[in-house]
A and B are shown apart, each in its own frame.
Chain A
Amino acid sequence: NAGVMQNPRHLVRRRGQEARLRCSPMKGHSHVYWYRQLPEEGLKFMVYLQKENIIDESGMPKERFSAEFPKEGPSILRIQQVVRGDSAAYFCASSPPGLAGDEQFFGPGTRLTVL
């Protein structure tokens, strides 16, 4: 997973605050995916983005969650008014131009703790 950068690695928020998670894909990659992992579970898809476009957000909760991948800069996953149930590891993955989903490479994750 070398090359996909995520920050911060750890984030602590109190209930009601906002959380902003950042992801810089591997150089040359144009597809970005966000996944959420609860303790002792597999990863669950949240959203798939290309530059300035949301392609598939079928895994995103309907409220409080949003994602963007602007023309310049990293992809951002934003969680407003966090609740304890949002505590999880959030992983970003990227893949090269071409076939979506093919060989996704993951970042180290952001571990969100909501107090």
Chain B
Amino acid sequence: GQQLNQSPQSMFIQEGEDVSMNCTSSSIFNTWLWYKQDPGEGPVLLIALYKAGELTSNGRLTAQFGITRKDSFLNISASIPSDVGIYFCAAYGGSGNTGKLIFGQGTTLQVKP
């Protein structure tokens, strides 16, 4: 079935550093979404991408929808301690899709002050 391969699995960085994570798939999708999940909470939508090649920013976050529609990346610039959490990519709109989101396995980010 359709699946997303997200990497890296975890990152431990110094405050102020930039972070990059990505998701790839063998399937084509029409929409890519990036979520952040804090412990004990539900995922919170960070960025939504709807067009191949699209580059979108939300504050210190920048995400791109790959031109092949099979991948996406998320960058976080100048990380701060509150960036700690699990980041998930999600995609929607592959063949036969009725609305369900496919999620990556998550990237756990830890930031050292």
Contact = CB atoms under 8 A, between A and B. Distances in A.
Interface centre among A40, A48, A93, A102 (most CB of B within 10 A): A102
B102 interface: yes
Contacts, number: 79
Contacts of A28: none
Given A91-B43, A108-B41, A42 B88 contact: yes
A101 B103 CA distance: 13
Interface string A1-38: 10010100000000000000000000000010101000
Interface centre among A101, A102, A108 (most CB of B within 10 A): A101
Interface residues of A, number: 31
21 contacts: A1-B42, A1-B45, A35-B103, A40-B106, A42-B6, A42-B104, A42-B105, A42-B106, A43-B88, A43-B103, A56-B99, A101-B31, A101-B97, A101-B98, A101-B100, A101-B101, A103-B33, A106-B35, A108-B40, A108-B42, A109-B42
Contacts of B92: 101-102
